[in-house]
Chain A
Amino acid sequence: MDIKKTGVAGSESKQDVLVKVEPGQSGLEVRITSSLGRLYYTQIASSVDEIANKYGIANAIITVIDSGALDYVIRARMESAILRASQEIEKKFYSEKREAVYKLRRTRLYLPGSNPYLMQGITYYNADGIILDLEDAVSLEDKDSARMLVSYALRNIDFGKAEKMVRINSLDVCGAEDIEAILPHKPDVILIPKCESEYDVKKVSEILEKTEKRFNLYGYQAKIMPIIESAKGVENAYEIAGISDRTTALAFGAEDYTVSLGVRKTEGEDELLFAKQSIVNAAKAAGIQASDTVYSNIEDTAGLKRSTEKSKILGFDGRGVIHPSQIDIVHSVFQPSEKEIEEAKEIIEVFNKAKEDGSGVVKHKGKMIDMPIVLRAMRVMSIYKTINQE
């Protein structure tokens, strides 16, 4: 590949690296400076060489200004810079196998897809899901390098027990390119922003189908979580929830929703009640989960707790979080209370006993117990057991 113009990717902020690829005449000229002096010089140089070779670059001036970036970040920035310099978009990824497993979905943590410093904690955030965001957190001119960094992050970072999630852009922005770039790295869930109709989900589902086939991703199927964030979306919530069997949960986005209503968010969240109940009802009717909107005031932990308690009452299975410090608070709310656990244990016990005895009537504390109550008790116990395995 010939480098005909200059391509730059990355930044000089902490744990990132700035890579500049320029046309050159006589071979590869690599200039490396690092905040860590020469302690990683050889490794940085070899990663730069490796990526340059992969693209068959014979002549170029490559300037690397490192601020303590990990190897995967260096490689991602290097590839982005080359692609920006050549304007060629090539698929050169290899993916590793990872089975998507069902997880608790109490929290899904948003992290900007462009910031390696915030990504370093992914292994240790105990959120149930981690969303690498390509949409609102990334500026238009950085979409390509964020896509590359997210691809590398999906492949290189240990997500622990958390589901790997990516929020792509709307299809009318660059959602299709996002899917194209990240799917080979097998994210568990794709979040579709600003879903207004079943068509939005159907289209994404088709692209996922095609892309999975094209990359031969056998045995892997990306799940979908549509985010409803407009009045129209709320009206179409049931159709959105039901159109694709990839859809695993509906999420709510309150910021844009209030704009579409022409109202402001208030402390009591009265303006959100209809949307929240509609979304929970649509999701449950379609047999999937519902995830509430984020709570945007990071400082107000008491407010977060109150709001989350309300989410739980309304029937949400969890919510979005925008800072790791919110995770434990949300988890503590969705953790079944001791009373709930006690009650669930008793119900399952009397149910089992009634089954053994062949009795058709199940009673607990004088009240008749029917099947939905037993199922709810079983769900409480299964959440409790999953949490206590952690």
Chain B
Amino acid sequence: MLRKNAVNRDIPDSIDNRELHPFAGAFNTNPIGKRKFAPKLSISKPNNDKLCKTVRDALEKAQVRDGMTISFHHHLREGDAVVNMVIEEIAKMGIKNITIFPTALFAVHDKLIEFVKSGVISKIEGSLNGPIGKFVSYGNMKNTCVLRSHGGRVRAIESGDMKIDIAFIASPTADEFGNCSGLYGKSACGPLAYADIDSRYAEHVIVITDNLVKYPLVPHSIPSTRVDTVVKVDSIGDPALIVTGTMRITKSPTRLLIAKYSVDFLDKIGYIKNEMNFQTGAGGISLAVTKFMADKMREKNVKAKFINGGITKYAVEMLKEGLTDSLIDVQSFDLEAIESMRSDKNHFECTVDEYANYFSKGCLVDKLDVGFLGATEVDVNFNVNVNTHSDGLLLHGIGGHQDVAAGCDITMITIPAYRNRLPIIMDSVTTVTTPGETVDVIVTEMGIAINPLRTDLIEKAKNIKSIPIMPIHEMKNKIEKITGKMEKPEKKDRIVALIEYRDGTIIDVVREVAL
């Protein structure tokens, strides 16, 4: 049976024997009385040798079996060699039907498709990007996939929805006792924030490194107390792809205009002031936003309390220049960010639990003033889609989108009015990732639309003349006039993926796309 959830989507009662709860509103689900899941206790003895020579040895020590859930983190991004290496080994051992539970996947993981076809992998709970997403969209995965936000993934682990049998932690540097750091070594990636929760809750934790050092590795992000096994390999990834070179700000005039409108808007409504803070990223428009924020803050002589998110050299420069007291870093995108984290005591690593976990006693997103986020589509109810494209294909993960939107005071979606010919604003998004009640402002090159729920912002923006401010319906019509009205893609009934909200309820489902 299907039930409508709070954003008007049809959600089945259950799928793959899992009972589903429809999304009930951003803050209406509460785990009162429930306790956290706990992994088994272990013991620590002198002369405990954790080193294994090969991935195979480590997998055998962990007693890998059919049907297990294996987790990975994505700090190595496009450079990651670990996911492919481990799954290949598992395949060689004849293991079948495993669930992989990554914090995110990248194009480099396209190889997994062959292991889905051969039955080694039967389910993915995590982001589905590019070709794997396409493969799943056409109905090629046996089980239903589940997508979660960064915070939602932590919640799923803590509450026992997801039990990790084996966690693989790629660590750019580790000692023989299992202490891990992402700050050093040829494959340095900065924080190991995504892996923290896996190391706490997995039944068996395997650290895999290409830079083995003598105990004690200090400082470390993950301590030896949570690690069963350490494997030394030649390479955990391609350093050139783990961190990009110097990231460049977009040259596209429309994207620059969007960034300019975003910063000007915040300035005009009085948000650019001492002790402010904001969340930023490394996407095309984000870098421009960060730079324009710096320019504006310098001009007004104000200093932020903190900047949070994916950190790049643009944020690092702000710290060095004294435009912010601190950087709170969940992932580092370039060498400058890693170097800063090594050397500057005001550049902190922040675990994803602390960053975004709704089932906690207080996570960082709730202290954010402004979050700049992207989208593939937005609708007139301010619902945002980041997962699917207008043709229905599942091509992106959720990232921290739901968490930041729910937490921060002003959620700004910065997007071009149309990409190729595809309009960004529609009557109803293909997939709801983030509910409209948590989204405040849409910024396109056409101007700004403010969520009618935010009467305070509408009031503050009343006298802005330098930026076109219009109702979202008007913006939608303007865009449609340029692009023409789009047709609906053909979809089948079968559900190929669930979009979980950060509280564990189901906000939408993704259906199979007809070829």
Residues on A facing B (Cβ under 8 Å): 14-15, 35-43, 67-71, 120-121, 123-125, 324-325, 390
Contacts and interface: CB of A to CB of B under 8 A. Distances in A.
Given A41-B487, A67-B420, A68-B421, 14 more contacts: A14-B420, A15-B420, A15-B421, A36-B422, A39-B421, A39-B489, A40-B421, A40-B486, A43-B485, A70-B482, A123-B446, A125-B253, A324-B253, A324-B256
A254 B107 CA distance: 48
A36 B254 contact: no
B391 A36 contact: yes
Contacts of A124: 253-254, 257, 445-446
A71 B420 contact: no
Nearest to A35: B420
Interface in B254-278: 254, 256-257
Contacts of B466: 390
B422 A68 contact: yes
B484 interface: yes
A106 B16 CA distance: 65
A325 B251 contact: yes
Contacts of B484: 40, 43, 70-71
18 contacts: A14-B420, A15-B420, A35-B420, A36-B390, A37-B391, A39-B391, A39-B421, A40-B487, A42-B487, A43-B485, A67-B420, A68-B419, A70-B484, A71-B484, A121-B253, A123-B446, A324-B256, A325-B256
Contacts of B251: 325
Query: Interface centre among A38, A40, A124, A125, by most B CB within 10 Å?
Result: A124
Contacts of B346: none
Contacts of A120: 254
Interface of A is mostly: loop
A37 B445 contact: no
A324 B253 CA distance: 6
Interface string B472-515: 00000000001111110110000000000000000000000000
Contacts of B490: 38
A144 to B, nearest CB: 25
Given A124-B445, A390-B466, A39 B253 contact: no
A68 B390 CA distance: 13
Interface string B398-422: 0000000000000000000001111
Given A38-B489, A40-B487, A71-B484, A325 B420 contact: no
Contacts of B446: 123-124
B231 to A, nearest CB: 44
Contacts of A68: 419-422
Given A42-B487, A70-B482, A70-B483, A121 B445 contact: yes
A69 B421 contact: yes
A53 B341 CA distance: 66
A70 B422 CA distance: 10
A70 B423 CA distance: 11
A170 B484 CA distance: 37
A70 B254 contact: no
Query: Interface centre among A38, A67, A69, by most B CB within 10 Å?
Result: A38
Contacts of B487: 38-42
Contacts of A125: 253
A46 B25 CA distance: 43
B393 to A, nearest CB: 9
Contacts of A42: 487
Contacts of A123: 445-446
Nearest to A34: B421
A356 B464 CA distance: 37
B249 to A, nearest CB: 10
A303 B128 CA distance: 46
Nearest to B445: A124
A53 to B, nearest CB: 19
B460 to A, nearest CB: 21
Nearest to B484: A43
B93 to A, nearest CB: 40
Contacts of A43: 484-485
A56 B47 CA distance: 90
A41 B484 CA distance: 11
Contact of A36 (B252, B420, B445): B420
Query: Interface centre among A14, A15, A40, A69, by most B CB within 10 Å?
Result: A40
A14 B485 CA distance: 19
A67 B391 CA distance: 15
A324 B487 CA distance: 33
B486 A39 contact: yes
Nearest to A324: B253
Nearest to A125: B253
A43 B482 CA distance: 13
A221 to B, nearest CB: 29
Contact of A37 (B254, B256, B483, B489): B489
Nearest to B421: A68
Interface in B12-40: none
A121 to B, nearest CB: 5
Nearest to A15: B420
